[in-house]
Structure 1
């Protein structure tokens, strides 16, 4: 996409609305370019973009171009991140897709590992094509996407089918967004798959929560579903779906909405604001997963000009600081968390933070550090320390063979370093 395209000009104006142009000169220039004063001060009416930015999910034009330029120049940490990508077998242009008509997660006949391996192969090949321009990698990503869109008709299983539809839905849509415009990619058919196979399950879960008590499902269940709806909305230029996802983030009744995901606020002895994560009493693996899920949601919205990272006085940042500090081996405050479970909302409580999985490494921290620490220039020492300890971040295939190693697309060092 050209630097002077309408999408890029609109993106620049949206960055102004988010407060990145704070000087009078910046505001004057933006106004001269056509932005309203209301848009620049954040008082414009909320809602989906009139015109969606493409590419505009986890990776917008700026991130892709910066990685391309920095890798070509041999600069670190981008080069280290690039070497992590090219060293992953999923990124090989010889990867062969194994599309299935039905994907099952949970219960008899599970085969969903085939799907997430193919998605991560498509993603990694797409990144190699975008950054290095290698035709073979671009063609490989397209073959994977086209194979699945011509074959997949249903995602099923027990309740875990909703996890599959959410996690793999948003990941798949992100790959398609990267490959948009490739001559061999059947985007229309891919959209039909997303709208016909993934979105109905996403909408069903977010609307009815599998007929369970609204607080029964952990934050990650909502978040992966919200991610899929948001990504499908962007991919399909569907403002209603975009608004559905963002509206739920702000005001949803389930645990994926920001005030339910971060139910309690604290301050530590060093004076840093901390936000207790909803799953902190469960285990740290799922808690860290939540950082990746909400981080992805906020980044996709950011690419469309909406600052959810900073929503409710940086509530998510406080949660990430809390989770990072505890997983660095330090103590954090904990308030008893009580919720209703099952279909009858039977009360359960966590009275202490869980140490299960403490210190687990997942590729979720660089996206947060480079936003809060570099884009925003905020003092987030715990997030920074976690990011430094996991760099350079890898992706699917680098963190074990099980599904948890594929919950995030990864490669944050390569894609977000600033």
Structure 2
């Protein structure tokens, strides 16, 4: 058995059970709030069943019909970043209509004879071809997606292996269901046979794991084991029109005993910092980022059933996503000791105790295509600022999917292509507030960078924090003017000016800065010059320049808060 969870479960906040017919009328009717506003409690739970939709329309899993229409229209108009997301999909080898399925009667994950590497490329090929069919109308891609799914439902009889069989049932169950949901009305798709495969092969393993956790103590398995099986039950329930399975998954999200339930998956909240610690944060960052992907997929599927898991506990998931994004962008985050017990339940409570005492740096900076749907919900739908998630999403945009992040199974743990389907229409518009003159913001005036109080036009003080213009400059940013697109803040003779990007390497270097933590405040950051790393963006007599950090005064002048 694999070690996981924490032993001291915490008291839960009592939240009324949510059914897919008693939420807030569904995502389409959700109010769009002012930028940075929190939804009122009544906007999250409590709409009377009489006002909610009685039947969920299809497709209604990770993508709704309106999501697909919006993406198709944006791509047809060559709008960015969605067009670049489409190009990434088209370039993926699994999205080609020439793909041929290789179905197995028995899939084994873990132990002797493991062969599951033959399964997940086919799932992603089905999903990617189904996307191309839905977005382009290409009959060839629709036919390929259907042929892959039909081949597997007509052949597969068993998923087995060691404990990892439960990972296979969870991850591939929810992914299979999402691919099938996209082609559920295709005339060549054998929907009944595929439904039976999901209900008779995948769902029993999902339920078996959530019920007895492979005979282990409840804290033995990491959160992701629960999360993938929860996602599978939810997805299968949606595809099969089984409201009982949808309710089972949502109930477990709220009150489940294992580490996938929301307050066990995210055990510690740091309200003053807008952050929350994920259960696997002391383990490594690869699995922690995977957790963001699985939680994001679960919350998105639930949202499209009219259930707001995103908003549970005052946006608890957002705080965890901000925590994980911030740490993987190179910044410090708080950490609370996390203790758990592992081993078979028959030996409890005397064996297998362990404690994480710090956030793990293993795999720090790990990249997975999981951030766009989180950003799309909180900032795009709800107008709630998610600055660290936004910076992470934009730093890897356009994201890809299975096959773009390595050949091992971890590169296929998420379906991806979030830029294409989920990137919000307007992200990354920020102001930069001075630390020691908080009534003043960075702006450009007559092409000179300076700090001033709120002035007109306000767009002079609005910037998009773009990925650094220097190619390959991971973790760095450039400041593009909102009202003069293509113009960036750059230093010239150590003074900051707003100028059009001329395409030169010199300009790119002058306009690229590394964002680092301010020593004066956890809410503020500093921007270090890319090509003069001993110098930082600061104001002097209200005018911007780059200078060394020669004194506490300069550190204060060089500290800013990014305000969405």
TM-score (norm 1): 0.90
The match for 2:204 is: 200
The match for 2:311 is: 310
Alignment partner of 1:392 out of 385, 389, 398: 398
- Matched residue pairs, number? 390
Structure 2 CA distance for aligned equivalents of residues 310 and 138 of structure 1:
35
The match for 1:14 is: 26
Q: Which secondary structure does the structure 2 equivalent of 1:75 belong to?
A: coil
Question: Would you tell me which structure has more helix in proportion to its own residues?
Answer: 1
Change (3 A) 1:41 1:349: closer
Q: Retained in 2: the 8 A contact 1:233–1:240?
A: yes
Q: Deviation per CA, 1:95-120: give whole Å up to 9, x if none.
A: 00000000000001111011100000
Larger of the two Rg values belongs to structure: 2
Change (3 A) 1:16 1:174: closer
The match for 2:85 is: 81
Residue 417 (structure 2) pairs with residue 416 (structure 1)? no
Q: Deviation per CA, 1:109-139: give whole Å up to 9, x if none.
A: 1110111000000000000000001000000
Residue 183 (structure 2) pairs with residue 175 (structure 1)? no
1:13 is displaced (CA, Å) by 3.9
1:272 is displaced (CA, Å) by 3.2
The match for 1:288 is: 289
Residue 362 (structure 2) pairs with residue 362 (structure 1)? no
Q: Which residues in structure 2 correspond to 1:112-151 (within 5 Å)? A: 112-151=116-155
1:411 is displaced (CA, Å) by 0.1
Structure 2 CA distance for aligned equivalents of residues 204 and 334 of structure 1:
33
The match for 2:354 is: 348
Q: Deviation per CA, 1:133-170: give whole Å up to 9, x if none.
A: 10000000000000000000000000000000000000
Alignment partner of 2:235 out of 231, 235, 238: 231
Q: Deviation per CA, 1:281-321: give whole Å up to 9, x if none.
A: 00000000000000000000111111110111100000000
Could you tell me which runs of 5 or more consecutive residues in structure 2 were left unpaired when the two chains were aligned: 1-21, 35-41, 425-564
Structure 2 CA distance for aligned equivalents of residues 415 and 248 of structure 1:
27
Structure 1 CA distance for aligned equivalents of residues 232 and 208 of structure 2:
12
Q: Deviation per CA, 1:389-410: give whole Å up to 9, x if none.
A: 1110100000000011000000
Residue 382 (structure 2) pairs with residue 381 (structure 1)? no
Q: Which residues in structure 2 correspond to 1:197-346 (within 5 Å)? A: 197-267=201-271, 271-343=272-344, 344-345=347-348, 346=352
Structure 2 CA distance for aligned equivalents of residues 90 and 15 of structure 1:
31
Structure 1 CA distance for aligned equivalents of residues 356 and 156 of structure 2:
40
Question: Would you tell me which structure has more strand in proportion to its own residues?
Answer: 2
Structure 1 CA distance for aligned equivalents of residues 210 and 338 of structure 2:
22
Structure 1 CA distance for aligned equivalents of residues 58 and 250 of structure 2:
18
Q: Which secondary structure does the structure 1 equivalent of 2:119 belong to?
A: helix
TM-score (norm 2): 0.67
Q: Retained in 2: the 8 A contact 1:129–1:135?
A: yes
Q: Which residues in structure 2 correspond to 1:151-166 (within 5 Å)? A: 151-166=155-170
Q: Which has the higher contact order (CA 8 A, sep 6+)?
A: 1
Residue 111 (structure 2) pairs with residue 107 (structure 1)? yes
Q: Retained in 1: the 8 A contact 2:237–2:246?
A: yes
Structure 1 CA distance for aligned equivalents of residues 45 and 147 of structure 2:
45
Name the Cα RMSD after superposition: 2.1
Change (3 A) 1:56 1:282: same
Structure 1 CA distance for aligned equivalents of residues 137 and 376 of structure 2:
25
Q: Deviation per CA, 1:203-227: give whole Å up to 9, x if none.
A: 0000010010011100000000000
The match for 1:28 is: none
Q: Which secondary structure does the structure 2 equivalent of 1:103 belong to?
A: strand
Q: Which secondary structure does the structure 2 equivalent of 1:349 belong to?
A: strand
Q: Retained in 2: the 8 A contact 1:91–1:124?
A: yes
Could you tell me which runs of 5 or more consecutive residues in structure 1 were left unpaired when the two chains were aligned: 1-9, 23-37
1:15 is displaced (CA, Å) by 3.6
User: Could you list the runs of 4 or more consecutive aligned residues of structure 1 that deviate by over 3 angstroms after TM superposition?
Assistant: 10-13, 15-22, 38-41
Q: Retained in 2: the 8 A contact 1:18–1:40?
A: no
